Structure 1
């Protein structure tokens, strides 16, 4: 409002008009629909099947349930789409069991928190939808671009956990290899969740759905597996899912609508052009500029929620990258990873506080135990920045 008072040439009704018009974007329908679908899936019985599958895949690795947590985050990416929701869910399921198996509270909290970074970059991550909507970048390509980085991030965190577990003597969760029948049964139990991202990408690639329509399909899909496949979705849990979704959707849409005023001011004052010229005076190397932007985003993430960061920073930084010849899909995935990191770092990390409160662990212990995982994430992010083809291989393969 102060900004508009400083510009008398702008009608004072502009903030209200911008706020309302920002909610009329048809492609934003994907956000509430995927939120509803995720909450329905979490209550459909799919989580138990994925937990069994994660245990079969990683149970023999050093670190036991810590490795299972990382695998479960990767598998849950196609279900919840939210890092905070995934961290909270896993903390309640695995947290106490990890501690009972001899792991320190700080280590358990750090693994459960940082591993949920995988969730927002696996289809249908809400961060990717927001970035694509704000920047008019193909959401289908963004979905496809998140797959390989998520796999590499998962492997890097698994190695970090393995090193720590080996030094401390944390045992594997399983002492024997799973039998063929056990493996087949585990995959069968998680197959509906594994198929979901595949169906999303195929639907977008073949033109069967738009991003908004595929959100509606996700809700129908969640109802189908909840009522007819796993048969664990009841009228009570259905209403609970809707109630939770109302709060989630209200919070996200409130942020989007009011941040539109901020975006209007950014464009009016030509801030992207000024920032581009400022960074160009330092270097015209798009990769170095991306590193500088990532450092800036991580710094802001110490104080600002990831969703707000994505909404506020996308119209500022993306024009800088495209002006230097960078690929918006490649930058989008790197940007989402950097913005989401704020959920796991003090002083305002939402996922960090969620996990620490559930496990009753101090932030100090969490930070002390979490630096190997943070280092692994930083190294992978640098790889993604300087080797763009790692991000772009799958979307180019699927969409051309």
Structure 2
């Protein structure tokens, strides 16, 4: 039965059925050939999946991100990023990476960040003589700095503290930024790409740019302080951040007009509808996989590596990365988390450590064929061929995978900040 479900799912993806409906339609064999999952159970699972208090954080963070982007935040961050990194080799590419690092804590969506930066910087990078494949690779891979939505969904599925997960993504995000900057500098130096700025900007100029986007940069700090002192849970933080974004837009930047507010609401409704439909449909397939004892089959497979904790971890991470190349990140989180997490926790790994690694890998899978959502988005906007993208992207992929391997071997890279801010997990 599991084979039939898997074949149907990939068939529906191949014929371009939307992912959410492919998830639901793949369970047809279980409804038709089995008597242990009537349609009423499927409907109950769809409804039950959306009735979760932690899951409320998703629509709040999506709305907050769209509101922040409607207040002139993006333009201010771009100017600040240009001053911070524009003097480096391959300046405009470095600016893209710095902007991604700052946007990763605001918008919460890798695809949204990649699309926004492609439109903002694509033509300018082409004007500097950068090959389209290089520009597309830089934008696509820098967008994978841990987005908050993926971590929230993982926390919802795995019943793990979302606050600890968000904090766990901070240090890896900084390391990914440094890795991208270094890799880009090496490639740019070899190809003779000039800096964006002729000289380093003065401290005063950088300071003024920092103050202009202070409220955006204060956003992650605001969350960190709130989690540290228990002022709010992750779900409550989402609601508070929406209010924060409204205050910044109306009273601080004074750029959130009624028209922009309506546009942010419209974009949020579309984004939330897409995510929640996938969550609801994924719950049906997840229940079907549980009935067919897929988690047990995965656990039995991983017992072959009993006694080799890190071998077990790397096998799972390879599976997760390969799954990320053929399925969208949200689907992977919903399906793979209940399948592989129990075995890793049993092997002694912290679920926050595993969650951050999984989110990075499944998001990074969006930059690889055959179903690379981020890759398709960036290449479509920049009019870059997939062949050229792949040719330029392999150094970034290799560097990122090496960094993930280091974080897998040294869990405290991920766990240091959550343990320091919120105390060790019990």
- TM superposition score category, shorter chain reference: over 0.9
Out of 5, 25, 31, the residue aligned to residue 58 of structure 2 is 31
Out of 352, 366, 373, the residue aligned to residue 389 of structure 2 is 366
Aligned partners of 1:160, 1:204: CA distance in 2, in Å? Answer: 33
Matched, 1:148 2:163: no
> Does the 8 Å contact 2:45/2:283 carry over to 1?
yes
Matched, 1:71 2:98: yes
Matched, 1:376 2:376: no
> Does the 8 Å contact 1:273/1:320 carry over to 2?
no
The offset of 1:91, in angstroms, is: 0.7
Matched, 1:349 2:376: no
1:268-279 alignment to 2 at 5 Å? 268-279=291-302
Change (3 A) 1:330 1:119: closer
Matched, 1:115 2:167: no
What is the match of residue 264 of structure 1? 287
**Count, aligned residues:** 396
1:278-357 alignment to 2 at 5 Å? 278-357=301-380
Aligned partners of 1:99, 1:256: CA distance in 2, in Å? Answer: 38
| Stretch deviating more after TM superposition (310-319 or 8-17) | 8-17
What is the match of residue 15 of structure 1? 42
Q: Please, which runs of 5 or more residues in structure 2 have no aligned partner?
A: 1-27
The offset of 1:282, in angstroms, is: 3.0
What is the match of residue 387 of structure 1? 410
Aligned partners of 1:35, 1:41: CA distance in 2, in Å? Answer: 10
Out of 219, 222, 227, the residue aligned to residue 242 of structure 2 is 219
What is the match of residue 19 of structure 2? none
Aligned partners of 2:36, 2:284: CA distance in 1, in Å? Answer: 16
Aligned partners of 1:310, 1:175: CA distance in 2, in Å? Answer: 44
The offset of 1:115, in angstroms, is: 0.7
What is the match of residue 218 of structure 2? 195
Q: Secondary structure at the match of 1:117?
A: coil
Aligned partners of 1:277, 1:345: CA distance in 2, in Å? Answer: 29
1:18-167 alignment to 2 at 5 Å? 18-120=45-147, 125-167=148-190
| Stretch deviating more after TM superposition (265-274 or 376-385) | 265-274
The offset of 1:265, in angstroms, is: 2.3
The offset of 1:64, in angstroms, is: 0.6
Residues 154-199 of structure 1: CA deviation (Å, up to 9, x unaligned) = 1111111111100111011112121121011011122111111111
> Does the 8 Å contact 1:78/1:193 carry over to 2?
no
| Stretch deviating more after TM superposition (47-56 or 61-70) | 47-56
> Does the 8 Å contact 1:73/1:119 carry over to 2?
no
The offset of 1:330, in angstroms, is: 0.3
Aligned partners of 2:290, 2:209: CA distance in 1, in Å? Answer: 51
TM-score of the superposed pair, with normalisation by structure 1: 0.96
> Does the 8 Å contact 1:160/1:372 carry over to 2?
yes
TM-score of the superposed pair, with normalisation by structure 2: 0.91
Aligned partners of 2:69, 2:146: CA distance in 1, in Å? Answer: 14
Change (3 A) 1:226 1:264: same
Q: Please, which runs of 5 or more residues in structure 1 have no aligned partner?
A: none
Q: Secondary structure at the match of 1:60?
A: coil
What is the match of residue 25 of structure 2? none
The offset of 1:83, in angstroms, is: 0.4
Q: Secondary structure at the match of 2:165?
A: helix
> Does the 8 Å contact 2:305/2:311 carry over to 1?
no
Q: Secondary structure at the match of 1:280?
A: helix
The offset of 1:11, in angstroms, is: 4.1
Aligned partners of 2:293, 2:65: CA distance in 1, in Å? Answer: 38
The offset of 1:248, in angstroms, is: 0.5
Backbone CA RMSD of aligned residues: 1.3
Matched, 1:3 2:30: yes
| Stretch deviating more after TM superposition (206-215 or 126-135) | 206-215
Q: Secondary structure at the match of 1:13?
A: helix
Change (3 A) 1:378 1:111: same
| Stretch deviating more after TM superposition (73-82 or 200-209) | 200-209
The offset of 1:119, in angstroms, is: 4.8
The offset of 1:344, in angstroms, is: 1.1
The offset of 1:224, in angstroms, is: 1.0
Aligned partners of 1:168, 1:114: CA distance in 2, in Å? Answer: 19
The offset of 1:10, in angstroms, is: 4.1
